Chains A and B, each alone.
Chain A
Amino acid sequence: MRFEWLVGVLLLPCASLLAKKTTAAASSKWWSVAIPHRETNEVTGTAPVDEISGPSSSINRIKLLNKSQRKTVRSNSGSIHAIAAAVALAVNECRYQFRLRRWNCPTNTKATGQTSLFGKILLKGFRETAFIYAITTAAVTHSVARACSEGSISTCSCDERDKGPSGEDWDWGGCSDNAIFGHRFAKKFVDAGERGRDSRNLMNIHNNEAGRKTVLAEMKRECKCHGMSGSCTIQTCWMRLPSFRTVGALLKDRFDGASKVVFNNNGNPSGRGRQNPSDFFEPFNPDHKRPNSKDLVYFEDSPDFCERNPRYGTVGTVGRICNNTSLGMDGCDLMCCNRGYVSEMEQVKERCKCTFKWCCEVHCLECDYTRTVHRCE
C-alpha cells in the first residue's frame, strides 16, 4: 500500500478527467435503491418513492452499490430496507422544503439505475446540490437509527469501540442512542461513494457530514423517574430522534445560509492521513467566517432555474403555480422570472372540516372552492 499515493498522483489527471463523467453517477447511484426495480420504472411527481419489496429485488438493489457500499450493507443485514426508506424520506422532505421555490427538487421520471435520481444537478457544485447530499445523508442516519430501535438491523450497537475498562459495548441488544450507529453507518456507506479527491467530492463529503451532524444535534434527551414513589432517585434517560421534518427545516435554513467556498492547495490531495474536507477550502469572501462542520458549502453559483436546461436537468418554471400576493420566492414575479402569469378561475375540490379518528379514519367533507390560480407563462 505504500505506493498507493504514487499511483494516485500518476493517475490523478486521468482520474479527474474520468471523474467528470463517472464520480457523480457512482456516488449517487445508491439513491436508486429506493426505486422499485420493475420494467416501468416510473417515479411520478408526487407519489412517495418507497416500495419495500421481497428479497429478489433487494439483490437487484445491491447491484446498484459500489463494492465497499455492498460490503457495508452485507455486513449489516436489514440495512438495505432502511436505505431505501431513507431515500424516499429524503425526496419527500426535499420536495416539501422546496415546494415554494423555483427549483422544487425534481426527481427523474426515468430512473434505470444508470442515471441519478436527482438528475444532472449533481454534477455541479450548487447550493441545491449541497442540500441534496445533506438531506439524503441525514435521511440515512435517521432511518438507520430508527431501524435499529425497531430491531430490523441486527448489528446495531451503542459503540463500536471496544475500548475502556468497563467494556463500552455492553449493550445487551440495542441502546437508546442508536443515532451514533446511524451516524457511523451513514458515514461508512454514503461517503464510500465519494472516492475521488476533487473539489466536488470534498464538497459532498463535507455536506454529508453536515447532514449527519444535524440529525445528531437535534437529538433530545428525555427522562422518566421511577424510583420509590416515583421519585427521581432512579431515572431513566434516553435520546429521542427528531422528526425528519425538523431536520429538513434545519437543513433548509442551512441552505439559505450556505457558504460559497474556494478550494486551496493546502490539503494533501492524495487523501493520505486524516484530514477534514474543510481543510481544503476557505470562504470565497475572505471576510466571511470559515464554515463550520454543520454549514453547507458550495462552490458554484446556482443558475436562476427559470428556463428548461438540459445541462442541469431542470425543467424551468413554466406552468408552475405561484402566489400573486407573496413577496417571497413563491410570489409570481420571482417564480415566473418576470415572464408574467396567467390567472384562471378554477373549481377546486378539497377536503375540509376533517375529523380525525385514530387511526386510519379521517372523516372529511368535500368542499368546493372557486379559486383563482396563477400559473407562470
Chain B
Amino acid sequence: MRMPLTRPATSVSSVLSEGFIKNSDAAFAPKPTNPNKNLATKCIDPTESLLKPFVPWGKGACTRVRDFEEAVQKQIPASSIVFSVRMPHNGFEMSKLFQFMVGVLTLEIEYDENIHMEKPTVYLEETYSTENTTGLINYYLTTVRMKRAIVRGTNMPEPGAQYDCEPLSLFELSSVHHKHYLINIRLPVGEIDLGNGEKKLTNEDIGAIKDVNIVKSLRLVILMSMIGITITAITNKRVFAKYTTFQPFFMIKAPYKKKHGLSVKHASYSRWTIFCLAIVMSFLNFPLEWLTLIFEIPAMLLISDIRQGASYAMLFSFWIIFVGEHMMDQIERNRLGAYWQQILAIGTACCGLLAFDMTERGSQLINPFYSVWNSEQGAKLAMGFIILAGVCVFVYFFSLLFMVFCVFRNLRMKSIAFNSMPKNRKKYYQALVYRFRFFIIFSLFCAVMTIIFFIMSQVSEIYSWHLDDEDGPRIHYTSGFFTGVYGLWNIYVLAVLFLYSPSHKEEPLLSREMMTMPTIEFPLLSFLRHKRSSNAITNISYLQAVTHPQFLLPCEKVLDISSPPHTRSG
C-alpha cells in the first residue's frame, strides 16, 4: 500500500529544507532591534518658551551646561534646561531601511542623603522635530505627560551612587523617513495647569537627576534580515509569498470543477478556511514594509499589527473548524453557526486588541509621544481590553482542547472497527485518522518550539554579553529565534495547506464508491458498538450491512462531513 501522503511529503520536505536555510541565515542576522543610546545635552533656554527647537550640535547649536553643579553655580532655573538629543550622532544619517523607531527614556538619579523620594513622578514636556538635508521641517509639541519613575531598589550603599530607575517609554515612530530627529525634553518645576482646571505641582520629588538618556531602538524594514543576507531573505520571502499565494488557487480549483458532480455548496468549511488562511498568510508575508523605502507611511506599525492580528484570528478559526470537522459526531458542522462560541471568543479578543491598538498606535500617528499607559484612566481601559482578550483566548483554547479530546475519543472508537471495513473505506478512514494525528502532533510541535524559542531567547540574551570571548563567534540568537519562529509558523501553515487541501487529482474508483455510499460508518458504528456489547451482531453481518448501504442512506444529510472524500492516491 502506498502512503497516502507522498505528494505533500515531498513538498513539505522541500519547504522544511528551505526553512532550515532560513533559520541558519537568521543565526547570523542582526538583532531584531538595534538599540542605540544617546546621552542628552543640557541646553539652556532662557526664555522658557516652547516655540523653538534646541539643537545639541551642528549649525545653531545651543548654549549648554556640562552638569548641574554648573547650573547651580550659574543659577539657572530648572525650567530653562532643555535636554536635547539629535539622532543619530554627528556624521550619520537615518536610513529609510529602518522600519520603526522606538524611544525609551532612562533617568540617572543620584543618591543624596538629604533627598527622600517617594513614588517620584516625572512630568515631561517634549518636542519633536524632524530634519532633512534642508533643515528642520517639522516641529511637534506635546506637553502634558506624567510618568511614574519607579525607582527600583532603595538600599543605596553610599552617596554618589545611582538609583536603579525604571526605563520609561518615550515615543514610537512608525516610519523613519527623515535624516535627523531632534527630541527636546523639559522637566519644568512649578504649578502646571493640567488642562481641566486642575493644577498640580510638578517634578517636586524627582531627586537629583544627573542625566537623561534616550535609548532609541530601530528595526529594519526587512525584518530579521540584513544587508549581508538580504538577498537570501528576499528570495525566501518571495518563495513563501508565491507558494502561499498560488497554492490556494490550485487547491480550491478542484471542488469547482464539478468533475464528480459536486456543487460548490458541498465544499466543506475547512476548505474555505484553508483558502482564507492561505490568503491571510500571503498578506502577512507580502513585504508591505518595503513601501516605507519610498513613501512615508506613519501607519505602518498599525497596519502590520492588524496584519498580524488577522493572521492569528484566521489560524485560530482554522484550528477550530478543522478540529470540528473531524469530530465525526451527529452535529451538522458545515456552517459557521456551529462554531459560534469559539468564533465569538476569537472575535471579541481581536476586537478588544484592535480597539486598544487603535487608541495607542492610532494616536501615535498624530502624537508620537502619546501612550495610553500614561494616564490612569487610559491605563485602566487598556488593561481592561487586554484582560478581555486574555479571557477570550483562554476560553477559546479551553474549548479547542476539549474538542481535540473529543476527536481523539471518537477516533479511538472508530479505529476499533477498522479491520471489519471494506478496503477502500478502511484506507480512507485510516488516512483521516493519520492526517488528524499528524496535524495535532505538528501543531503541538510548533507550539512547543515557539515556547522553547521564547524561553531560550530570554535566557541567551541574558548570558550573551560576555567580555572575554571577544574572538568568539557572535551570533545574535534572539533574531535567529525570531526568524525561526516566524519561519516555523510559515512552514506550519504551508504544510497544512499542502496536507489538507483537497486534491485536484481524480480518484475514480474510490470517489465513485464513496459518492454512492457516503458516511455510513458512524451511525453504523455506534449501532455496532451497541450491538457488540450484547454480542448480537458479528463481523460478517456488519460487512453485509456495509455492502448494502441503501439501508443507511438517510444519514447522508446528517453527516455531511465526509461527503466528498477525495483521498490521496492510494
* Interchain CB contact under 8 A, B39 and A149: yes
The yes or no answer to A55 lying at the interface (CB within 8 A) is no
- Among B130-138, B268-276, B461-469, B500-508, the stretch that binds chain A is B461-469
B474 sits at the interface (CB 8 A): yes
Q: Which residues of chain B are near A176, meaning CB under 8 Å?
A: 35-37, 215
The distance in angstroms between the C-alpha atoms of A149 and B213, with both chains bound, is: 9
A178 to B95, CA, bound (A): 21
A204-246 interface bits toward B, Cβ cutoff 8 Å, 1 = contact, 0 = none: 0000000001001101011110101110001111111011011
Q: Which of B161-169, B418-426, B528-536, B543-551 forms contacts with chain A?
A: B161-169
Instruction: Give chain B interface residues in 60-84, CB to chain A under 8 Å.
Output: 66, 68, 71-72, 75-78, 81
> Which chain B residues lie closer than 8 Å to A239 at the CB level?
465
Contact status B30-A166, CB under 8 Å = yes
**Listed stretches B13-21, B226-234, B320-328; interface member:** B226-234
Chain B residues whose CB sits within 8 angstroms of the CB of A240 once the complex forms: 106
- From B191-199, B201-209, B292-300, the one touching the partner chain is B201-209
Chain B residues with CB under 8 A of A150: 38-39, 41
Fill in one digit per residue for B220-252: 1 if any A CB lies within 8 Å of its CB, else 0.
Answer: 000000111100000000000000000000000
Is there contact, CB below 8 Å, between A166 and B36? no
Bound CA–CA A105/B150 (angstroms): 37
B538 to chain A, nearest CB (A): 59
B54 proximal to A (CB < 8 A): no
User: In terms of DSSP, what is the predominant structure of the interface of chain B?
Assistant: mixed
Mark the stretch among A259-267, A302-310, A355-363 that contacts chain B: A355-363
- For window 352-410 of B, CB contacts with A under 8 Å fall at 353, 356-357, 360, 373, 382, 386
Indicate whether A333 reaches chain B with its CB closer than 8 angstroms: no
Alpha-carbon gap, A174 to B360, bound state (A): 29
A173 interface residue per 8 A CB criterion: yes
Asked if B28 is an interface residue, CB under 8 A from chain A, the answer is: yes
- Indicate if the CB atoms of A177 and B465 lie closer than 8 Å: yes
B110 touching A243, Cβ below 8 Å? yes
Is B172 positioned at the interface, with any CB of A under 8 Å from its CB?
yes
Question: Please, which residue of chain A has its CB at the minimum distance from the CB of B70?
Answer: A360
Measured between alpha carbons, how far is A177 from B68 in the docked complex, in Å? 25
B70 to chain A, nearest CB (A): 9
Partner of A236, one of B92, B104, B157, B356: B104
Residue in A229, A230, A362 with the greatest tally of chain B CB atoms within 10 Å: A229
A154: interface (CB < 8 Å): yes
Q: Please give me the residue from chain A that is nearest to B309 by CB atom.
A: A228
Is A234 within 8 A of B209, CB to CB? no
Q: Which residues of A contact B93 (CB under 8 A)?
A: 173
Say if the beta carbon of B261 comes within 8 Å of chain A: no
Tell me which residues across on chain A come within 8 A of B36, comparing CB atoms: 171-176
Interface presence of B494 (CB below 8 A):
no
A348 at the interface (CB under 8 A from B): no
The interface bits of chain B over 145-159 (1 if a CB of A lies within 8 angstroms of the residue's CB, else 0) are 000000000000111
Instruction: Verify if A168 is at the interface (C-beta below 8 Å from B).
Output: yes
Is B89 positioned at the interface, with any CB of A under 8 Å from its CB? yes
Known: A164-B28, A173-B88, A356-B207. A226 touches B37 (CB 8 A): no
Closest beta carbon of chain B to A278's beta carbon, Å: 14
Contact residues of A between 358 and 377, Cβ < 8 Å to B:
358-362, 364
* Nearest-neighbor residue (CB-CB) of B167 within chain A: A224
> Which listed residue (A174, A221, A249, A361) contacts B78, Cβ 8 A?
A361
How far is B104's CA from A237's CA once the two chains are assembled, in angstroms? 10
CA distance A46 to B110 in the complex (A): 21
Chain A 25-41 interface mask (CB, 8 Å, partner B; 1/0) = 00000000000000000
Shortest beta-carbon distance from B164 to chain A in Å: 8
Q: Which residues of A contact B32 (CB under 8 A)?
A: 234
| Contact indicator B34/A245 (Cβ below 8 Å) | no
Contact A249 B157 (CB under 8 A): yes
* Contact of A151 with B158 at beta-carbon distance under 8 Å, contacts A356-B208, A358-B187 already known: no
- Bound form: Cα–Cα A236–B35 in Å: 6
Give Cα A230–Cα B106 distance, bound, in whole angstroms: 17
Q: Which residues of A contact B98 (CB under 8 A)?
A: 172
By the criterion CB–CB under 8 Å, are A237 and B102 in contact? Answer: no
For window 290-334 of B, CB contacts with A under 8 Å fall at: 305, 308-309
Known: A154-B90, A228-B305, A236-B104. A243 touches B57 (CB 8 A): no
**B187 A359 Cβ-Cβ under 8 A:** yes
Give the CA-CA distance A360 to B72 in the complex, in Å: 5
Determine if B514 is an interface residue (Cβ-Cβ < 8 Å).
no
- Alpha-carbon distance between A177 and B158 when the two chains are bound, in angstroms: 26
Which residues from B are CB-within-8-Å of A234? 32-33, 219
B189 beta carbon closer than 8 Å to chain A:
yes
* The residue from B56, B115, B206, B356 contacting A151, defined by CB atoms under 8 A apart: B56
Query: Judging by beta carbons under 8 Å apart, are B219 and A172 in contact?
Result: no
B160 touches A243 (CB 8 A): yes
Nearest Cβ on chain B to A261's Cβ, whole angstroms: 22
Asked if A236 and B217 sit within 8 Å, CB to CB, the answer is: yes
**Given A173-B91, A360-B76, A229-B115 contact (CB < 8 Å):** no
Shortest A139–chain B CB gap in Å is 14
Residue A165 interfacial (CB < 8 Å): yes
**CA gap between A178 and B215 in the complex, in Å:** 13
- Asked if residues B38 and A357 are in contact (CB atoms below 8 Å), the reply is no
Residues of chain B contacted by A238 (CB below 8 angstroms): 35, 37, 215
Q: Are A170 and B203 in contact (CB under 8 A)?
A: no
Q: Which of B56, B68, B102, B167 contacts A222 (CB 8 A)?
A: B167
Q: Is A327 positioned at the interface, with any CB of B under 8 Å from its CB?
A: no
Asked whether B356 lies within 8 Å of A354 as measured between CB atoms, the reply is no
**CA separation between A174 and B467, bound complex, in Å?**
19
Cα distance, A54 to B421, chains bound together (Å): 96
With A243-B110, A359-B68 known to touch, is A221 a contact of B88 (CB < 8 Å)? no
- CB contact between B71 and one of A165, A223, A224, A360 (< 8 Å): that residue: A360
Q: Is the CB of B28 within 8 A of A165?
A: yes
B465 (CB) vs chain A CBs: closest residue:
A221
Does any Cβ of B come within 8 Å of A52's Cβ?
yes
**In the bound complex, do residue A173 and residue B92 qualify as a contact, i.e. CB atoms below 8 Å apart?**
yes
Indicate if A146 sits at the interface (CB-CB under 8 A). yes
Q: Contact flags (1/0) for A150-192 with B, using CB distance below 8 Å?
A: 1110101000000011111011111111100000000000000
**How long is the Cα–Cα vector from A237 to B289 in the complex, in angstroms?**
24
Min CB gap A355→B, angstroms? 8
- Whether A222 contacts B207 by the Cβ 8 Å rule is no
CB of A162, distance to nearest CB on chain B (Å)? 12
Shortest Cβ distance from residue B389 to the other chain A in the assembled complex, whole angstroms: 8
7 smallest CB-CB distances across A and B, nearest first, come from A173-B92, A173-B88, A151-B89, A236-B217, A245-B160, A150-B39, A243-B162
Known contacts A151-B86, A173-B92; can you find 6 more A-B pairs with CB under 8 A? Answer: A96-B160, A151-B39, A151-B57, A173-B88, A223-B461, A249-B158
Can you name 6 A-B residue pairings with CB atoms under 8 Å? A96-B160, A167-B228, A223-B461, A226-B172, A229-B360, A234-B33
